[in-house]
Structure 1
């Protein structure tokens, strides 16, 4: 039995890609996308049909030049999501424009627009996760959206405060970023690249897992952003693991037994009082790594969204 097959016994495997071929090959349960992955897909000649469809849709819908660019971007995000859903039995995560990450109202409006685009093409909202950055504003948006059966994936999650706030707001799923935490510690010379063992990114997810299960929170934990298969194997037993095609291939190529590392406790504790916005911002601000990586992630996803819109602006 290869390691990928073995890992599927303990965790739900999710493909972290917009590449249809990779998704078909590794047969994950779910798939996640983000602006960077959508941009990669758009830059591939294989997906020219999706670009043409998006431009046709935007022009037909009309409106200002800016409106058409935004509509084309939303359309290709949904069309690629629909194509991915043909290859998987579970959810696809579609990300809201990162530039909206500090407005609860705008995130709710965009999420509803994306869900409407899916449903207009016959795809139920029950198969779509709206992906939002784990800012306070987005966490509150996810809480409201769930009331309309719109489920969310809170991404760019680095601090324990973010994880607590998500659970306390009963969001559907979180994506704590293992690899980017690891990257920060390397960049600060706080960890050697030759380090073997549970690195700070892995430890962060283990802490969240233990806390969630001890307090019986229903929010799903999906480890994300891996740099090597050792990080993945240390988290076997995590609810879900979203993995890039490169690491899926490595896991499939390796044989050997895998032990379950994360197990729910046999007892539950009463959850603490929920964090207020003031407490959340203070606690998150105490973690320099989390503050830097969340800001960087929002900026970079925003840049990729802008690049995507520039591609459409030239064509429209």
Structure 2
């Protein structure tokens, strides 16, 4: 038995890719996309028609080029998401423009627009997860969107404060970034002798998992951003894991026993009565230097890639 099959006994596997070829190959339950992944797939020949359709959509929606570009940028996300849904049984995550990460109301507006675009094309909102950066504003946006049966994937999650706030907002799913946490500690020369069981990214997810299961929170934990197979196997038993095609390939081509590492509690206890308010959230998150740096860096990176998507579309108008 290969490791991918072994892992699937304990954990739901999600493809961290916008490449339909890779998704068809590994047959994951769900798929996640982000501006960086969308940017990579836009160069694929089979996506040319999706881009042309997005440009046509933008032109129909407005006479102003600036607005046309925004509509087309949103439409390409939806078009690629729709294409992915042809090959998975579950949900696809589509990300809201990272430049809106500190604007609750703009994030809600954009999320609703994306959902409406999917539903115009016959895709029910139950098949979509709206991806939002795990800022305070976006966590509150996710809480509001839930009232309209719009589920969210809170991404770029690095601190325990972010995880607590997401659970208390009853968001559908969180994506703690294992690899990027590891990267920060490695770059700061804070990892002297590496052992996957002491990997700061792995430990972060384990801490969140134990807390969520202790208090029986409904929010799904989906480990993300892996650097190696060992990090993945160390989290066997996590609710979901979203894995890049190269690591899916390594798992599927390696024969070996996979041991479950994370287990839910048999008897969860009542949820804490105190709720994390905005000032408390900001203070606790601010105490984690890694989380502050990686969240802001992630938002900037996704923003740059969003702008590159627009640069590709711009000459087509």
Quickly name the TM-score band, shorter chain normalised: over 0.9
CA RMSD in angstroms, aligned pairs only: 1.0
Does 1:289 find its partner at 2:290? yes
Q: For residue 314 of structure 2, what is the aligned residue in structure 1?
A: 313
- The whole-number CA distance in structure 2 between the counterparts of 1:201 and 1:99 is 26
- The whole-number CA distance in structure 2 between the counterparts of 1:279 and 1:202 is 25
- The whole-number CA distance in structure 1 between the counterparts of 2:58 and 2:196 is 50
Once the two structures are TM-superposed, the CA of residue 192 in structure 1 deviates from its matched residue by 4.4
Quickly say closer, same or farther: Cα 1:192–1:72, change in 2 above 3 A.
farther
Quickly say closer, same or farther: Cα 1:193–1:314, change in 2 above 3 A.
farther
**Superposition pairs of residues 54-65 of structure 1, within 5 angstroms:** 54-65=54-65
Say if 2:180 and 2:225, in contact at 8 Å, map to a contact too: yes
Once the two structures are TM-superposed, the CA of residue 196 in structure 1 deviates from its matched residue by 4.4
Point out where structure 2 has 5 or more consecutive residues left out of the alignment: none
| 3-state SS of paired residue (1:156) | strand
1:203-236 CA deviation, whole Å, 9 max, x = no partner? Answer: 0000000000000000000000000000000000
- The whole-number CA distance in structure 2 between the counterparts of 1:65 and 1:193 is 54
- The whole-number CA distance in structure 2 between the counterparts of 1:232 and 1:214 is 22
- The whole-number CA distance in structure 1 between the counterparts of 2:49 and 2:63 is 23
| 3-state SS of paired residue (1:119) | helix
Q: For residue 165 of structure 2, what is the aligned residue in structure 1?
A: 165
Q: For residue 187 of structure 1, what is the aligned residue in structure 2?
A: 187
Q: For residue 298 of structure 1, what is the aligned residue in structure 2?
A: 299
- The whole-number CA distance in structure 2 between the counterparts of 1:194 and 1:267 is 34
TM-score of the superposed pair, with normalisation by structure 2: 0.98
Once the two structures are TM-superposed, the CA of residue 194 in structure 1 deviates from its matched residue by 5.1
Say if 1:176 and 1:223, in contact at 8 Å, map to a contact too: yes
| 3-state SS of paired residue (1:260) | coil
- The whole-number CA distance in structure 2 between the counterparts of 1:36 and 1:55 is 20
**Superposition pairs of residues 202-221 of structure 1, within 5 angstroms:** 202-221=202-221
Q: For residue 71 of structure 1, what is the aligned residue in structure 2?
A: 71
Q: For residue 93 of structure 1, what is the aligned residue in structure 2?
A: 93
Once the two structures are TM-superposed, the CA of residue 129 in structure 1 deviates from its matched residue by 0.1
| 3-state SS of paired residue (1:197) | helix
TM-score of the superposed pair, with normalisation by structure 1: 0.98
- The whole-number CA distance in structure 2 between the counterparts of 1:159 and 1:150 is 24
- The whole-number CA distance in structure 1 between the counterparts of 2:314 and 2:166 is 36
- The whole-number CA distance in structure 1 between the counterparts of 2:125 and 2:192 is 44
**Superposition pairs of residues 127-146 of structure 1, within 5 angstroms:** 127-146=127-146
1:226-277 CA deviation, whole Å, 9 max, x = no partner? Answer: 0000000000000000000000000000011111100001222222211000
1:145-186 CA deviation, whole Å, 9 max, x = no partner? Answer: 000000000000000000000000000000000000000000
Q: For residue 126 of structure 2, what is the aligned residue in structure 1?
A: 126
Say if 2:196 and 2:202, in contact at 8 Å, map to a contact too: no
Q: For residue 278 of structure 2, what is the aligned residue in structure 1?
A: 277
| 3-state SS of paired residue (1:5) | helix
May I ask how many residue pairs the two structures share in their alignment? 316
Q: For residue 222 of structure 1, what is the aligned residue in structure 2?
A: 222
Say if 1:206 and 1:262, in contact at 8 Å, map to a contact too: yes
Does 1:248 find its partner at 2:244? no
- The whole-number CA distance in structure 1 between the counterparts of 2:310 and 2:275 is 39
Once the two structures are TM-superposed, the CA of residue 100 in structure 1 deviates from its matched residue by 0.2
1:21-69 CA deviation, whole Å, 9 max, x = no partner? Answer: 0000000000000000001111223311111111111111223211100
Moved over 3 A (4+): 192-198
Point out where structure 1 has 5 or more consecutive residues left out of the alignment: none
| 3-state SS of paired residue (2:313) | helix
Does 1:14 find its partner at 2:14? yes
